[in-house]
Structure 1
Amino acid sequence: MPEAGPKAAAAKLLPFLALGARGDLQAAAAQHVLALTGSEPGRTLLAGQGALLRALVELAVAPAPAPARDAARALRRPPCWLTSAASRPVAALMAALAAAEPVETGLERLVRALCTPGYNPRAPLHYLGPVLSNLSQRPATRAFLLDRDRCVVQRLLPLTQYADSSVRRGGVVGTLRNCCFEHRHHEWLLGPEVDILPFLLLPLAGPEDFSEEEMERLPVDLQYLPSDKQRESDADIRKMLIEAIMLLTATAPGRKQVRDQGAYLILRELHSWESEPDVRMACEKLIQVLIGDEPEHGMENLLEVQVPEDIERELQQQDLQDQEQCAQKRQEQELAPEPQAEGAAPT
């Protein structure tokens, strides 16, 4: 089929994705676009369809439940917009967001829809969380999120405890983690204007009973937690929370603030409780940073350290070995027989 064929077919979907289109046709078109994201050719095709992306953005925050859900799910597919060589697809989605409404940027609309309870009473829009997380891999999106006059990060923080959806919760945590790559903002993020650390630590905390001395080292929100306090149930989200804190320790002032707020105490208990090998390993690495010696002069900012190529290769090899060990441990856990009740006969 000529190349123009599939492009023309995709363009034919546009009228049916418009906000004024008939509901059943709108839903069918959204489902068709979602199906296209399941294959590499389909993702490549959609990446070049700026008008189609704009329509998806509009539909993602529209009141029609099924089309809105499918549009948001299509936008969130990471392989669709964020493959290693896919700056053009992300740029196309950014352009679609920017063009979505003349009065305010599409990102503002997305954040407002994500952070406003009941924004769309007929569709929960949980998948907007991963959409924002995907977009936050772009510097332009992080600049918007970290604009101190907009207070976007502060609006996202409560969603780290959003109980109704791990999809929305995970998307927000992924967004915050990506923001932590911007080390120039660490002092602000950790300071009183944002105070991000308690929001990252609280989902990792359990019902442990610390000593009075230890309790005083913790932020107020982490003191005297109830006996039924539950940790974040999703292992991937726990790992992203740890990664966000690790990024905040990239600079000397950041490491001091994280240490001073008693993060080690929460991580120590998490490490004892954690059963997922890769999450446990991430926790170990963060603990090593917090209890280890400070880097030598000139290497205080770990995100700016120039690593020699031979050392980088060794580190990559070590990371690969760590991943293989984690995969092996996980496989062993899956294959291990379930413990039988005392006195039960083997089957």
Structure 2
Amino acid sequence: MEELRELLQFLDLNQRLDLKAVALSHVLSLTGSAEGRKLILEFPELMQAVVKLTTDKTHTIAKDATLALINLTGDESGAVTLHEACQSCPETSGIIPWSLEQIVDEKSKLADPWCMVLSNLSRAESLSTKVLDEIDKDEKLILLLANAFSRIGYNKEAKLHYIASIFCNLTQSSRGRKLLCESKHNLLQKLLPFISYQDNIIRRGGIIGVLKNICFDPVYHDILLKDHDGILCSLLTPLAGPEEFTEEENDKLPVELQYLGEDKLREEDPDLRKMLLESLLQLCATKKYREFLRSKGTYEILREYHKWEAKVGGDREALLACENVVDILIRKEDEIGVDNIRDVDIPSHLGEKFIEDDKNFIEDK
């Protein structure tokens, strides 16, 4: 701690560049270990100094300072501690608004690392609320975020993939889901195409996470599946392959899923496949949407997917997630016997048995 106190004098915007660079390099290296982060997170003045240096006119200094913040906010306790330290200092109290400003700035050279900082901050529920508070102050801000994400090349200095993670974090709350689903700007429609974005797993994984969070909220099932097939196509396309269907089966499918080419590939990441299947399972909660999914050929897509996962994909958790959806879709409604599956009260002993059965299935016993 004494060594860090000595470094503090060199972590100043007005300090000589060479001294500032050496001191910041040492701090950055410390943030690479749990012990180093613990020391820094116990030193509010040092955290405040690092945040100030993210505004340094020398790009390498500002970048190293921002990279240090990414490491310090890597877990929830660090994110909360850093935010609290900045709140006690007027000059650094705006870490959330500053990060948002940098992310939507088309010329910011540090937009990508700031995306990662805000992604880390917004994972904490208390800080996610503060991010939403900041977005609510300016109705244009959420549209700017969506445009920055959806327009490839928006910022020539940044990829902005981690905006997807920010949206995913925000939609873990009902307030965040409302922001995307009820926007007059059709924000959700701007994000959906990136569910199949093959160039970056962070980008497509974040948007799959957004859709999963929304599917888990029955309030939005009407919005998700009303009057168009776009949401369902977004969920099914990554699970669909090049298999051929009968003419009758093809007629069921949304147009976008009919006659896919021989080069059609499925989502390569098993965790993302599982998330897509879990989203579909949530949409099976009520009779209305079970019938909708059946009418759109969801079973037929999953039937072929199941064959592929069993032979090629090889992920038991994804296979189980698929079977959970198929088991519902292949049943007739009089067999299911309830409108909303969520209303079914499962005795504790049966619940424990189902959990054990799933565990044995995943372990291939």
TM-score category (smaller protein): 0.7 to 0.9
Structure 1 segment 93-132 matched on structure 2, within 5 A: 93-99=131-137, 102=138, 104-105=140-141, 107-132=142-167
Answer whether contact 2:150 2:191 (CA < 8 A) is retained.
yes
Answer whether contact 1:76 1:130 (CA < 8 A) is retained.
yes
Q: Which runs of 5 or more residues in structure 1 are unaligned?
A: 333-347
Q: Does 1:301 align with 2:336?
A: no
Residue 198 (structure 1) aligns with: 233
- For 1:227 and 1:214, how far apart are their aligned partners in 2? 18
* Mean Cα deviation higher: 280-289 or 117-126: 117-126
SS in 2 for 1:178: helix
SS in 1 for 2:216: coil
SS in 1 for 2:43: helix
**Quick one: structure 1 residues 283 and 73, their matched pair in 2 at CA, closer, same or farther if it must change by over 3 Å?**
same
Answer whether contact 1:47 1:88 (CA < 8 A) is retained.
no
Structure 1 segment 1-347 matched on structure 2, within 5 A: 6-18=43-55, 21-38=57-74, 41-48=77-84, 49=86, 51-63=94-106, 67-77=110-120, 81-82=122-123, 86-99=124-137, 102=138, 104-105=140-141, 107-147=142-182, 149-193=184-228, 195-274=230-309, 275-294=314-333, 299-305=338-344, 307=346, 311-319=350-358, 321-322=359-360, 325-326=361-362, 328=363
Deviations 1:11-36 (A, max 9, x none): 22333334x84422221211110110
Deviation at 1:47, TM superposition (A): 4.5
The AA in structure 2 aligned to 1:302 is I
Deviation at 1:296, TM superposition (A): 7.8
- For 2:246 and 2:235, how far apart are their aligned partners in 1? 22
SS in 2 for 1:120: coil
Deviations 1:63-85 (A, max 9, x none): 567622222123324xx544xxx
- For 1:68 and 1:148, how far apart are their aligned partners in 2? 25
SS in 2 for 1:13: helix
The AA in structure 2 aligned to 1:95 is D
The AA in structure 2 aligned to 1:58 is E
SS in 2 for 1:246: helix
Q: Which has the higher contact order (CA 8 A, sep 6+)?
A: 1
The AA in structure 2 aligned to 1:243 is E
- For 1:169 and 1:285, how far apart are their aligned partners in 2? 24
Q: Which runs of 5 or more residues in structure 2 are unaligned?
A: 2-38, 88-93
Deviation at 1:188, TM superposition (A): 2.9
**Quick one: structure 1 residues 5 and 22, their matched pair in 2 at CA, closer, same or farther if it must change by over 3 Å?**
same
Q: What is the root-mean-square deviation of aligned Cα atoms in Å?
A: 2.9
Residue 339 (structure 1) aligns with: none
Tell me the TM-score normalized by structure 1: 0.81
Task: Count how many residue pairs are aligned between Structure 1 and Structure 2.
Answer: 317
Deviation at 1:266, TM superposition (A): 0.6
Deviation at 1:284, TM superposition (A): 0.6
SS in 1 for 2:140: coil
